[in-house]
Structures are given as C-alpha cells and as structure tokens.
Amino acid sequence: MIFDTHAHYDDEAFDEDREELLFGMQENGVECIVNAGASLASLPKILELTEKYSFIYGSVGIHPSETGELTIRDMEWIGEAARREKIVAIGEIGLDYYWPEPDREIQKRWFQMQLELAGEMKLPVIIHSRDAAADTLEILKEWDSHKVRGVIHCFSYSWEIAREYLAMDYYFGIGGVLTFKNSKKLKETVCHLPMERILLETDCPYLAPEPYRGKRNQSEYLIYVADKLAELKGISREKVLEITSNNAKSFYGIN
C-alpha cells in the first residue's frame, strides 16, 4: 500500500474533481496521505480534509516563500491548529533562496520560530530547502539538541550533504524527480541511502513522475517512483512500498 508523505490536495489544481479523486484513492492502493501545509490560506482547507477523510492527516506550517507578511498572531493560530489530533507534523518550513524574496533574514527568523513550535509540541518537521544547503544545515544542526524527527522534503542536494542529515537521523523525501532522465545525482544519492530513511512523497499537484511528467500529480503515481527505487535497490515494488510505509508511520507516529 502507498503512503504519500507529502501532498497538497488543498491546491486549486484539485478544485474541479477533488472529491471524486480522493474517494477512489483507497481502492487504488493508497493507504494514507499527509497533506502538507504551505500557507496561511491552506490551513483551514487542510483541517477540513483531515476531518472529511479518515486516511488523510495533515501538517501545519508556512513555506519560506510565504513568510514575508507573517505575524506573531499567525504563529499562535498555527500553534493552535498543531494541537489537533490529526495534525502530525510542522511543515513545510525552511529556506528557499531560489527567489530573491522574502529577505533571507526574514526566512531564517520564521524558520527558527516554527522549529521552536515543533520542539514545544514534540512534532516532527517537514523541511523545504532550495538553493540554501549551507544555511539550512547550520540551523538544523544548532536545533538538533531538541531530538525531534525531521524529513528533508524533495531532497535535491549531494551525497555529502545527505551524510550530514543521516548522522542526525533525518529522513529523505523522495518523489517524481527520481524517475526523470536528468536526475543522475539524485539516483546516486538514493543508492547510498538506507531504505529505512526513505519516505515516498508526491508533492502533488507538482512533480509528477515519468510517464506523467509535466501533468498534474496524484498519490497513485507513487508506484512509478517505487518501481524506480526498487530497480536501484534491487528489491521488489511491494518491498519498497512496505518499508517506506512503515517508515512513514513511525516518522509521523501514525498506527
């Protein structure tokens, strides 16, 4: 069974057929989904999804690109939402230097504030890090004494960076990019990673795997990522799904 550890079904890309898609999902082999938070606007939608569907859990947090206008009052609201039973993580939070805005210092401030919240709540964190390897690692190393679990979502850095996170017992979110022809670096990193540290994620509606690259992504498509992972690791698709699903359950504390 498929455990999608990072999806965005609150996204407007699903407005047309969200119910239809989600109602059929368990029959199509999807066991569980964690819908990741990204903006303040996504928060009420995520709470609604977790109430409506037994197999959907959620995380709450503000993506670095959305931190420009954030206030302390917003953080209190996030803190309240994080206390809900089906909210299982804080995220996605982190640093994104691909875009010039918001200012890096602003991103760092809210990243640290949200890490503090996760520490207080003893919730795992979902980390978004793009073109910001050194600063992300520095902040997470400082914060490591909290002993809270973390996953590097859509891991895209080198094996050298991966080793640093392995040493801190982090997990690695692996999705559609693994099936892309130009993802040689990621395939090499994945060959080195222990299976026990890998979580499957779609990041849907984005990053659909081959043969759906460029189209709208959905949780069922994770079988293509599982197949690529099975090929790289020399094990069966079933084994990949079993191990990654168990990893996800222990990461999020879901039975």
- For residues 82 and 127, which CB has a smaller minimum distance to Ni ion in the complex? 127
Does position 66 interact with Ni ion (CB under 5 A)? The reply is: no
Helix, strand or coil for residue 68?
coil
Minimum Å gap between C-beta 145 and Ni ion is: 27
Here the tokens at position 219 are 């949780």
Within 163-222, the residues that bind Ni ion by CB under 5 A are 203
Helix, strand or coil for residue 34?
strand
- For residues 59 and 244, which CB has a smaller minimum distance to Ni ion in the complex? 59
- For residues 10 and 203, which CB has a smaller minimum distance to Ni ion in the complex? 203
- For residues 63 and 149, which CB has a smaller minimum distance to Ni ion in the complex? 63
Minimum Å gap between C-beta 37 and Ni ion is: 9
Minimum Å gap between C-beta 231 and Ni ion is: 25
> In this structure, are residues 45 and 240 in contact, taking their beta carbons and an 8 Å threshold?
no
Antiparallel, parallel or unpaired: β 87-96 and 56-60: parallel
- Size of site (CB under 5 A) for Ni ion: 1
> In this structure, are residues 203 and 153 in contact, taking their beta carbons and an 8 Å threshold?
yes
Minimum Å gap between C-beta 187 and Ni ion is: 21
- For residues 140 and 201, which CB has a smaller minimum distance to Ni ion in the complex? 201
Minimum Å gap between C-beta 91 and Ni ion is: 8
Minimum Å gap between C-beta 236 and Ni ion is: 28
Using the CB atoms, write b or e for 107-138: b if 16+ within 10 Å: bbebbebbbebbbeeebbbbbbbbebbebbbe
Q: How large is the C-alpha radius of gyration of the chain?
A: 17
Among residues 134, 135, 139, 133, which one has the least CA distance to residue 125?
A: 139
Among residues 88, 171, 83, 179, which one has the least CA distance to residue 127?
A: 171
- For residues 66 and 203, which CB has a smaller minimum distance to Ni ion in the complex? 203
Minimum Å gap between C-beta 161 and Ni ion is: 19
- For residues 154 and 229, which CB has a smaller minimum distance to Ni ion in the complex? 154
Give the nearest residue (CB) to Ni ion: 203
Mark residue 214 as left, alpha or beta (left: phi above 0; alpha: psi -120 to 50; beta: remaining): left
Q: What is the DSSP string of 201-230?
A: ---TTS-PPTTSTTS---GGGHHHHHHHHH
Q: Residues in the site for Ni ion, rule: CB under 5 A?
A: 203
